[in-house]
C-alpha cells in the first residue's frame, strides 16, 4: 500500500510544496474491525477557519484515519497552519489546481482508505463523528455510502431520500462533513467532472444513485457528523450560474427532457426575484 501511495504522489505534477507522514515512510492501514478512513480537505487561502477544521479531526476518538490536504497554491497563512500540524497529516501538497473539484479528485486518487469523506477547510466534524460513522459501517456493511446529519446555521439537515433526486437536489444532508463512501464504490462512480464549476457534486451523486444504482443510508437527526459553515465556496456562487449548471447536469445525464423543462419552469418562477 505504501509503495502504491508514493508512486501516485510522484505521478502528480510537481508540487510547489509538500509534506506529511507518508514522506517520512509512516503509513496507515486497515486493521481488524478498524477500517481506515480517508479524509480529503481542499484548501485555498483558508487561514480563517483551517485550524479549527484540522483540530476537529484530531479530536476524534476513533483514530484509524488518514488526512490528505490539497492546497491550490495559497498566499495567506494556510501553509503555515498545515505545517504546524503536519506530524498528524498523512500527505499535503500545495500547487495551482483547477478548483475545488480538481482538489477532490487528486485527494481521491491518493486515498488508501476503505472509506473516504470530505472535510472542507471552513467546516468541522463533531467529536463523535467517526464513532457514529463506524457504528453505521458495522451495522450496514452492505451499504455503499452514508450521509450523516449535518448542522447548518439555520438547523440540522439529516436523512437520505433518493427518490427526490429526480426533481430536487435536496435529498441528502451535506457533502462536506456528512458524506462517506466505500473506496471501491467511489472508483465505480469515477471522479468529479471538472466541466461543472459549481455543482459537480450533484453530477457525482446523480451518477452514483441513478446510473450506478449504489445503495446508501442516512443517519438520524440527533446523530450529527459535523457543522457546515455559512459563507463557504457554495455561498459565493450566483444563483443563476448555479441554477443553469444544475439544469445542464440533468440534461447531460439524459434525464427525461419534459421533466427537466418542468423543473426549469417551476424553479425559475419560484426564484425569479433572485435572477
Cα–Cα separations (whole angstroms), residue 78 to 82, 92, 196:
6, 12, 26
- Alpha-carbon dihedral angle through residues 78, 84, 86, 87, given to the nearest 10 degrees: -170
How far apart are alpha carbons 5 and 153 in whole angstroms? 38
User: What's the mean pLDDT in 154-173?
Assistant: 95
User: What's the mean pLDDT in 129-137?
Assistant: 98
pLDDT band at residue 273 using 50, 70 and 90 as cut-offs: confident
pTM (two decimals): 0.93
- Buried (b) or exposed (e) across 64-74, using 16+ Cβ within 10 A? bbbbbbbbbbb
How far apart are alpha carbons 34 and 122 in whole angstroms? 28
Q: Of the given ranges (45-49, 123-127, 266-270), which has the lowest mean pLDDT?
A: 266-270
User: What's the mean pLDDT in 228-256?
Assistant: 84
User: What's the mean pLDDT in 200-222?
Assistant: 98
Strands of the 115-118 sheet, one edge to the other: 17-19, 91-94, 65-71, 37-43, 115-118, 179-182, 145-147, 216-218
Predicted confidence (pLDDT) at residue 156 exceeds the cutoff of 70: yes
Sequence-distant (≥ 6) Cβ neighbours of residue 134 within 8 angstroms: 34, 35, 62
Answer for the pair 53, 124: CB distance below 8 angstroms, yes or no: yes
Answer for the pair 253, 203: CB distance below 8 angstroms, yes or no: yes
Residue linked to cell 439537515: 157
Answer for the pair 70, 97: CB distance below 8 angstroms, yes or no: yes
pLDDT tens across 86-129, in order?
Answer: 999 999 999 999 999 999 999 999 999 999 999 999 999 999 99
Q: How many CB atoms lie within 10 A of CB 257?
A: 10
3-state secondary structure of 196: coil
What pLDDT score does 274 carry? 76
Residue from 20, 191, 212 nearest 116 by CA: 191
Amino acid at each position: 500500500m505504501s509503495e502504491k501511495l508514493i508512486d501516485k504522489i510522484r505521478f502528480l505534477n510537481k508540487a510547489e510544496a509538500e509534506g506529511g507522514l507518508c514522506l517520512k515512510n509512516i503509513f496507515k492501514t486497515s486493521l481488524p474491525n478498524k477500517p481506515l478512513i480517508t479524509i480529503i480537505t481542499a484548501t485555498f487561502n483558508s487561514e480563517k477557519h483551517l485550524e479549527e477544521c484540522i483540530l476537529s479531526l484530531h479530536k476524534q476518538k476513533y483514530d484509524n484515519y488518514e488526512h490528505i490536504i490539497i492546497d491550490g497554491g495559497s498566499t495567506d497563512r494556510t501553509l503555515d497552519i498545515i505545517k504546524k500540524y503536519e506530524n498528524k497529516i498523512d500527505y499535503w501538497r500545495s500547487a495551482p489546481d483547477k478548483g475545488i473539484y480538481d482538489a477532490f479528485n487528486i485527494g481521491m486518487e491518493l486515498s488508501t482508505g476503505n472509506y473516504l469523506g470530505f472535510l472542507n477547510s471552513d467546516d468541522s466534524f463533531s467529536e463523535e463523528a467517526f464513532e457514529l460513522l463506524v457504528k453505521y459501517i458495522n451495522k450496514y456493511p452492505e451499504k455503499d455510502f452514508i450521509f450523516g446529519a449535518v448542522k447548518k446555521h439555520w438547523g440540522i439537515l439529516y436523512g437520505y431520500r433518493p427518490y427526490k433526486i429526480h426533481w430536487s437536489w435536496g435529498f441528502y444532508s451535506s457533502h462536506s462533513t456528512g458524506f462517506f463512501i466505500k473506496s471501491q464504490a467511489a472508483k465505480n462512480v469515477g471522479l468529479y467532472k471538472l466541466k461543472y464549476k459549481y455543482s459537480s457534486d450533484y453530477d457525482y451523486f446523480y451518477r452514483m444513485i441513478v446510473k450506478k444504482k449504489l445503495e446508501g443510508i442516512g443517519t438520524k437527526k440527533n446523530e450529527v457528523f459535523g457543522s457546515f459553515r455559512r459563507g463557504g465556496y457554495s455561498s459565493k456562487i450566483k444563483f443563476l450560474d448555479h441554477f443553469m449548471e444544475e439544469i445542464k447536469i440533468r440534461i447531460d445525464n439524459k434525464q427525461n427532457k419534459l421533466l427537466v423543462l418542468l423543473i426549469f419552469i417551476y424553479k425559475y418562477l419560484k426564484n425569479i426575484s433572485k435572477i
